[in-house]
A and B are shown apart, each in its own frame.
Chain A
Amino acid sequence: METSFWLARKLFFTRKNFWTGSSLFAVLGLIMGVASLVTAMAVMSGFESTLKSAVVDVTGHVRVVRGFNSNEKWEELDAKVRDGEPTAEIRGVSRFTFVEGIVTHQGQISGVILQGVDPQQYQTVLNFSNRIIQGVQGLDTTAESVPRALIGKGISQKLNLKAGDKFRVVLPIADRIDPNKFHRRIKEFQVGGVLDLGKFDWNERMMVTDMTVTQELAEIGDRYSGLIYRFSSAEKAREASFRISQKLGGTYSVRDWHDLSENLFEAVRIERVVIFFVVLVIVIVAAFNISSSLFVTILRRYSDIAILKALGARRRDIILIFSLQGLFVGIVGVVGGSLVGKLLCEILQVLQHKFRLVSGAVYKLDNIDVLIRWQDLTAIFIATIIICLIATLAPAMRGAKLNPVEGFRYG
């Protein structure tokens, strides 16, 4: 083994032998293939990570929604949820209400979901601090007793609302005696801050305000929709969600951050696998170049192979020597391809901001934080090295089969 390394290093890995002719083109082809793979996987991972962070920031880790007619106090529900759960895992809890309404401003209207949250608690479960693009995060009331609200950037653009602007929310309330009759409730709000909520739908439709204001506007008294929880990590939350759901039974709906956008996460997971294998074809094509380049090397090295065999080298020594060349080409390809891929990702990130490459209406996200993950790099490394080794096997075996006498004659 050590001798084969020594021979391979001396025979192939000199500047003169490696960086000239067909080897150079084979390596360049592989670098481009790996770079494409790295970039494609980084885009997919970035999509998943951006989506995950948006979902976790805006919806929290776990949502427990209680039955429609329940009058259960939130402390009682919280106690049920916490029962048997490791105390250290639950990092925060907040009540919330969901109410649908219409926002009006300067004669324009837009349908919205008002998410009412506990102003003292919501920051322990939701994370808007990185999502504020205008104004501040506060949900307090102005000096003129106008409550402040946070709105998605889509609503802001559509209705031309900026931080500090006032707008109205209209709610249709069904009559208690005749549910076919409605009366309207109108309330004035001030834009406290504009949020980039990550997902296109939320930016277009979501508005966050103090829960008491929402309750008063919707005439629901002290009723709330459910509780939002934050756990020590998103993964712990998924495990806990299952346990809580089992514990609470069918009266409650328990959904974690993954369940809330399951179709998207599932689509990304499948696309990632498909894209990996599709783009891997480029690496396979590049491996054919390596194979043909190695065939040329073997023809050029006929007399060297002959002398090695005459001096005692076995078939497996010859196979190993040439396979090491393939391995080296693979490693150079992966390292070079990863660096070029990283560069492409940086360029993509810049272009994405400059030219709005991603349409939120189509992809749900209008910005993807391109992410190169170690798991993806490891998969690319392993796949590329295996492909390169397989590509070198045929020429290496051809070299190993060579009769020394033929090598002396034709070398």
Chain B
Amino acid sequence: MVSSPILKAKNILKSYPQGVGELQILRGISLEIFPGDAVSILGSSGAGKSTFLHILGTLDRPQGGELKYEDQDLLSMNDDELSLFRNQKMGFVFQFHHLISEFTALENVILPGRIAGEPMKELKLRAEEILHTMGMKDRLSHYPSQLSGGELQRVAIARALIRKPKILFADEPTGNLDSKNGQLIQELFFNLKNKMGLTMVVVTHDLNFASRFPKVLRMKDGNWSY
């Protein structure tokens, strides 16, 4: 039986104002993501891959096209509905960890759960468990300024997973790391994929990393390049 796509983007258009005209970033790009998919999106700088990822993750709105999660039309939702949707269904990892500096590693991880109103005690247990599996057992009460680049990214991944998302989006997750830490994060992604059966969409310009995904897509000038 062929399963139906969990996320479907069709003819997505995105442009930004530039001087008197418009700079076209995405030119009618489409994508279907099925449950359990692990997709990497490759492309050079300025190809529009991060913009496309942001639109897929509902962080940004396109000027045209369709975006559906199962049968839900995501583009007809208002900002608050999208926030709730992201909190329930999506996880994000960015090139820069974007951890909140006043929060400890544990507090950063539980943040999405707190926003959803989950009980603190249960959340903490779950966050500790995730951080333990990532080898961060001794770093729970450390602040971001006390963690290394690789550790920061592991905390960011743990934060993305705490709400058990249906899709994990990662934008250059190894882009800001040295090769050793980059390798560790790559392994972590594939371990999680195998263990949890996560659906993942990863944007990277690292060819080695991208080629380890079962589905590799290339972007050029705002659309797929075949």
Contacts and interface: CB of A to CB of B under 8 A. Distances in A.
Interface of A: 2-3, 6-7, 10-11, 14, 17, 303-304, 306-317, 403-405, 408
Interface stretch (B113-121, B128-136, B193-201): B113-121
B59 A404 contact: yes
A408 B156 CA distance: 15
Nearest 6 interchain pairs by C-beta: A312-B87, A314-B80, A311-B112, A405-B60, A312-B115, A307-B98
A403 B60 CA distance: 7
B59 A316 contact: no
Contacts, number: 63
Contact of B94 (A10, A316, A408): A408
Nearest to B89: A312
B92 interface: yes
A408 B98 contact: yes
B37 interface: no
A6 B80 contact: no
Interface of B: 54, 57, 59-60, 79-80, 83-84, 86-88, 92, 94, 96, 98, 100, 102-103, 107, 111-112, 114-117, 159
Contacts of A408: 94, 96, 98
Contact of B114 (A6, A303, A304, A309): A6
Nearest to B81: A314
A312 B60 contact: no
A10 B102 contact: yes
Contacts of B115: 3, 308, 311-313, 317
A306 B83 CA distance: 11
Contacts of A307: 98, 100
Nearest to B86: A312
B100 A314 contact: no
B80 A316 contact: yes
Nearest to B61: A403
Contacts of B80: 314-316
22 contacts: A3-B115, A7-B114, A10-B107, A11-B102, A17-B102, A309-B83, A310-B57, A310-B92, A311-B86, A311-B92, A312-B83, A312-B84, A312-B86, A312-B87, A312-B112, A312-B115, A312-B116, A314-B79, A314-B80, A314-B84, A317-B115, A404-B54
